[in-house]
Structure 1
Amino acid sequence: MSDVLFPELPGLEWDLRKTPVFNTKIMQSINGRELRASFQAIPKYEISMSFAFLRESKGRQELQRLESFFLERRGSFDSFLFKMPEDHNFECTFVGDGATTTFQLYKQAYNLKIPILHTESLGKVLMWNANDQTLMWSTDDQRLMWSNDFYQITNDGRVVFNRLLAMGESITISGTFYYRCRFKDDAQEYTHFMAKLWKASKVEMIGSLGNKI
């Protein structure tokens, strides 16, 4: 399980399909009544990308980058991180309880909060005081508008504050997250249709917001 990123290929036209998949066991009795057991609280995703073309010319080596990445992963053997186009930003709001400094980041999917375990790490980020009436500087022992308070985002999906959040204190954090993926199959097909231009029939992956793939 590696943390290498799936190569971004800017400037290319692509189609992407994302299918959330659950795992449910359904048992049916003689009278037709169903008993159902759910084995997943959050979905896995079937992800399919297709590119209009891939170039292999000097300076534009999308084919080489994609094929090399597939070979290095040994097909479906090794997993990697994937920055889903237009689905890689999180915005989380946390409310303090006076006892917690570390919080789990999540993706908001309507009314559902899905934990995310792979994020872009950030070093110390200074925090503004939420009270806009607070002084910018003072000799008194109080929290100023711009203080030494900070938070850090780890690459395993947590935000860590350097102090306890007071009861009812609200903080909103934003950043970038990734899907944990593997290639669906051990084979990848490329079609050469013009000089130095190729097509990849499909790049198919199995993904998750956690580690279970």
Structure 2
Amino acid sequence: MTPPAFPTLPGQAWSVHKRPTFSTRIVSNSSGREARTPLYAYPLYEFELTFEGLASTSALPGLGANSLQSLLGLYLQCQGQFGTFLYTDPGDSAMVGQAIAVGDGVTTAFPFVRTLGGFTEPVGWVLSVQNVYLDGARQTGGWTLSTPNNLTFVAPPAGNVLISADFIFAFECRFLDDQNDFENYMAGLWQVQSLKFRSVKP
């Protein structure tokens, strides 16, 4: 079952915080040396958003009619920290020509990944796939998107064939708190000074 989508609302304000988070176990010795063990192979991402204007009626279409109900409704639907939703980060959701894997002549399913600098990690939830390429040649069929984030071929790509794709993805997230402050600061107008959520492991 696909989680609900986080709404795109005109009343969202700057700034936006995005915090990649790792977990490292560190043991310090009396000599000053350290032993460090990484506990996460890939980071979790924490987001913090601010909404300066949410409309509780349809009288303020510039803020999105009933935008309060859209955001508050998602929070209630998720029951705070319990449920998950899909957040499409406006600046980090599209990959073009992303290398996915190299075929081995046997494997038919490959997880979607994205590369930032020299770091490659799996993506949380692929929303759509525009193109799939084998050694740069666009494929018109023979593949499907398997929810949430696998590229599945009817026949396994040949050995040493580079598999790449153009796709849109979202972060599967949960809210960080079981309560949040929705402030009614003027008739029909609301704001949320801090809404925090974090990604979950696929």
TM-score, normalised relative to structure 1:
0.79
Instruction: Give the direction of change, closer, same or farther, for the CA distance of 1:147–1:6 in structure 2 (3 Å limit).
Output: closer
Q: Following superposition of structure 1 onto structure 2, how do residues 143-158 of structure 1 map, counting pairs within 5 Å? A: 149-158=141-150
- Residue 198 in 1 paired to residue 197 in 2? no
Aligned length: 194
Secondary structure of the corresponding residue to residue 166 of structure 2: strand
Question: Which residue pairs with 2:168 in the alignment?
Answer: 176
Deviation at 1:67, TM superposition (A): 1.0
- Contact map agreement 1:121 1:155 (CA 8 A) in 2: no
- Residue 96 in 1 paired to residue 88 in 2? no
- Select the structure that is richer in strand: 2
- 1:138-191 deviation line (CA, Å, top 9, x unaligned): xxxxxxxx9874221122211112223223433421112121211111111122
Q: Following superposition of structure 1 onto structure 2, how do residues 1-213 of structure 1 map, counting pairs within 5 Å? A: 3-9=3-9, 11-15=10-14, 16-58=16-58, 60-91=65-96, 92-93=98-99, 94-120=101-127, 149-208=141-200, 210-211=201-202
Instruction: Give the direction of change, closer, same or farther, for the CA distance of 1:148–1:23 in structure 2 (3 Å limit).
Output: closer
- Contact map agreement 2:25 2:38 (CA 8 A) in 1: yes
Larger radius of gyration, structure 1 or 2?
1
- Contact map agreement 2:133 2:163 (CA 8 A) in 1: no
Gaps in structure 2 of 5+ consecutive residues = none
User: Which one-letter code corresponds to 1:6 in the other structure?
Assistant: F
The separation in 2 between residues aligned to 1:42 and 1:114, in whole angstroms, is 6
Secondary structure of the corresponding residue to residue 181 of structure 1: strand
TM-score, normalised relative to structure 2:
0.82
- Contact map agreement 1:121 1:154 (CA 8 A) in 2: no
Deviation at 1:48, TM superposition (A): 0.1
- Contact map agreement 2:132 2:165 (CA 8 A) in 1: no
The separation in 1 between residues aligned to 2:151 and 2:139, in whole angstroms, is 18
Secondary structure of the corresponding residue to residue 64 of structure 1: helix
- Contact map agreement 1:127 1:151 (CA 8 A) in 2: no
The separation in 1 between residues aligned to 2:157 and 2:67, in whole angstroms, is 47
Gaps in structure 1 of 5+ consecutive residues = 132-145
Deviation at 1:122, TM superposition (A): 5.8
Identity of matched residues, %: 26
Instruction: Give the direction of change, closer, same or farther, for the CA distance of 1:148–1:110 in structure 2 (3 Å limit).
Output: closer
Instruction: Give the direction of change, closer, same or farther, for the CA distance of 1:166–1:183 in structure 2 (3 Å limit).
Output: same
Question: Which residue pairs with 1:134 in the alignment?
Answer: none
